Chain A
């Protein structure tokens, strides 16, 4: 009860509230909701876990990587829970459990076209040389060149070349299989 008027407690509450707001905004911005993640749930769980850690030792200093691990494990737990919830296939899903267009507004023709494009993309990607396939896949996942370089273990310049040449090759292959022209 005395904690309510404790200035340190209030300071910690403020810090965690500010952090929680940023966390919530980033969960939403990175589209984690499409994997069944609820930003409010993640924020609440992270705050609870951090509070517990702080309560264990009020004078302990927390490294940023520790806080990052707390967040990561919370999100991974949430992803697993979402995966368990999603084990029962929905009627709209295809035979292999894959639904490339979760947008309910798409019509059946657009969905069918989307499936065809995905299949062509998969086959063209698989036809790329191994050393280019991985950087291209990471690029399509939204990773920046420096991030690709860090993950693959090469320089940013080498990653840029691999991505650039790989994308050209992929587009050529997609054109060959009639997946359409690229206007960028």
Chain B
């Protein structure tokens, strides 16, 4: 009998000792065992499961052999993710000048509308201001003394504080008893 034959015999005897027969190894524990990082408090349980179940043993050995391929896939996915994010940034950059152009167009339209309004207002004759400015004989009516003269000239029309001379107050229409009717 050879040692490999002995191993075959032993593995055959532990083949039916599948997952529920011995300590149940979960995915996390199997991966740790494949990496050679068994948690100390789980060591006895894991070792017994691997020794007593060829399904567990094959799973852990398979995972160990798969590690380089998984690392390679992880690197490939990371490169792909980087490429994806670069692409999305590039797409966003491409979209940004378009948006700037759109904003410029809106601003230009706004300016054009305002300019149109201003021009329209400038073209039409304005009521009071337009009428008064050209015919006004004086540029400043307050400081040239003309206003005082005008007020003095109309002084007789002030009916409130105006007295007709002497003691006569009957012309004060506001405080007159007749003013109420």
Chain B residues contacting A97 (CB-CB under 8 Å) are: 16
Main SS at interface, chain B: helix
A:47-88 near B, CB below 8 Å: 54, 58-69, 71-73, 75-76, 79-80, 82-83
* B104 shortest CB reach to chain A, Å: 31
B:33-63 near A, CB below 8 Å: 33-38, 40, 43, 46-48, 50-52, 54-55, 57-59, 61-63
**Are A150 and B38 in contact (CB-based, < 8 A)?**
yes
A142 touches B (CB below 8 Å): yes
**Are B13 and A65 in contact (CB-based, < 8 A)?**
no
CA distance A81 to B131 in the complex (A): 101
Chain A residues contacting B78 (CB-CB under 8 Å) are: 61-62
**Are B11 and A143 in contact (CB-based, < 8 A)?**
no
Chain B residues contacting A137 (CB-CB under 8 Å) are: 10, 51-52
CA distance A75 to B62 in the complex (A): 10
* B59 shortest CB reach to chain A, Å: 6
Binds A, one of B66-74, B136-144, B166-174: B66-74
* Complex partner residue of A23 from B10, B50, B66, B81, CB under 8 angstroms: B66
Mask, B108-138, CB within 8 Å of A = 1, is 0000000000000000000000000000000
Closest to A139 in B: B7
Given that A19-B73, A63-B74, A141-B54 are contacting pairs, would A30 and B12 also be in contact in the complex, using a CB cutoff of 8 Å? no
Chain A residues contacting B1 (CB-CB under 8 Å) are: 117, 174, 179-183
Binds A, one of B23-31, B93-101, B150-158: B23-31
* Complex partner residue of B51 from A83, A134, A153, CB under 8 angstroms: A134
CA distance A101 to B9 in the complex (A): 8
A:126-168 near B, CB below 8 Å: 134, 137-143, 146-147, 150-153, 167
CA distance A61 to B34 in the complex (A): 22
* A131 shortest CB reach to chain B, Å: 12
* B81 shortest CB reach to chain A, Å: 5
Chain B residues contacting A44 (CB-CB under 8 Å) are: none
**Are A32 and B62 in contact (CB-based, < 8 A)?**
yes
**Are A32 and B11 in contact (CB-based, < 8 A)?**
no
CA distance A60 to B142 in the complex (A): 79
* Complex partner residue of A141 from B4, B10, B65, CB under 8 angstroms: B10
Which residues from chain B sit less than 8 Å from chain A, CB to CB? 1-4, 6-7, 9-16, 18-20, 25-28, 30-31, 33-38, 40, 43, 46-48, 50-52, 54-55, 57-59, 61-67, 69-74, 76-78, 80-81, 83-85, 87-88
- Given A32-B62, A68-B34, A99-B16, 19 other A-B residues pairs in contact with their CB atoms under 8 A: A8-B84, A11-B83, A12-B80, A30-B62, A61-B81, A62-B73, A64-B70, A65-B31, A67-B70, A69-B31, A71-B70, A101-B12, A122-B13, A137-B52, A141-B7, A147-B61, A151-B38, A174-B6, A182-B2
8 cross-chain CB contacts under 8 A? A18-B73, A61-B74, A64-B67, A67-B73, A67-B74, A143-B57, A143-B61, A151-B43
